[in-house]
Amino acid sequence: MFRQIKRLGNPKYFALAIYAHGKYPGLTTVIDCRGYDLRMGLLGEVTLEDDDFFKGQNVRGVTVYWDAVGRCYYYQKKPDIKYIGDMEMVHVVGDSYKLRRCLNVNVPFVNRRNIMSSDDMAIVEDMLVLKKDYQAYKILGFLGDSVLVMGDKVIGYQQIMANGKMGKYFELRPQGMTPVPDFQRLHLKKVE
């Protein structure tokens, strides 16, 4: 599977490995301490920078930084990691931030004013992110003390309660749905 493996002296990341076969010769990945291929996909001389960032080249030959924690983000320059409330965010320029961990969708860069948070969830513009597993969902509306999001497998409205647990599933738009959240019932606050 791998043509070459170069061991790293890091407790979180075991080795850099170059794939033996594939579309791009010399494509490098990283193997974590549990033996999982993180599918980094960088070319050229790949190095581990501090703060879990790997530096290498993308397929166009541009030098990029890959975030091993975020796992799906490439940056043109090494970003700063900041905490907004209790959320780890990536800060690149100005007042723009991006949620560092988000597993199923690419949450865009947003202004700090557009982030609201509770103990169990965060609303980042029009996305709901559950803090327990960093799953993100497109928000369709709000219903009392719950958020209605786009269903995962079928078209409809999936209800997510204020505590982050899944509620009912609605095939049609539920009566009482509003475009504005009830901040108090959802325990949402602007982040500091």
pLDDT tens, 152-162?
A: 777 899 999 99
- State the Cα–Cα distance between residues 136 and 110, nearest whole angstrom: 15
DSSP code per residue over 56-116: EE-TTS-EEEEETTTSS-EESSPPEEEEETTEEEEE-STTEEEES--SSS-PPPEEGGGEE
Domain that holds residue 67: 2-75
Residues 180, 99, single domain; the answer is yes
Which whole-number Å values give the CA distances from 35 to 20, 32, 68, 118, in the listed order?
Answer: 18, 5, 14, 34
Residues 90, 122, single domain; the answer is yes
- State the Cα–Cα distance between residues 173 and 162, nearest whole angstrom: 19
Residues 142, 185, single domain; the answer is yes
**Domain stop point among 43, 75, 107:** 75
Per-residue model confidence as pLDDT tens digits over 15-56:
888 888 777 778 898 888 888 888 888 888 898 887 688 999
Residues 96, 177, single domain; the answer is yes
Residues 70, 134, single domain; the answer is no
- State the Cα–Cα distance between residues 150 and 139, nearest whole angstrom: 7
Report the predicted TM-score, pTM, of the whole model to 2 decimal places.
0.71
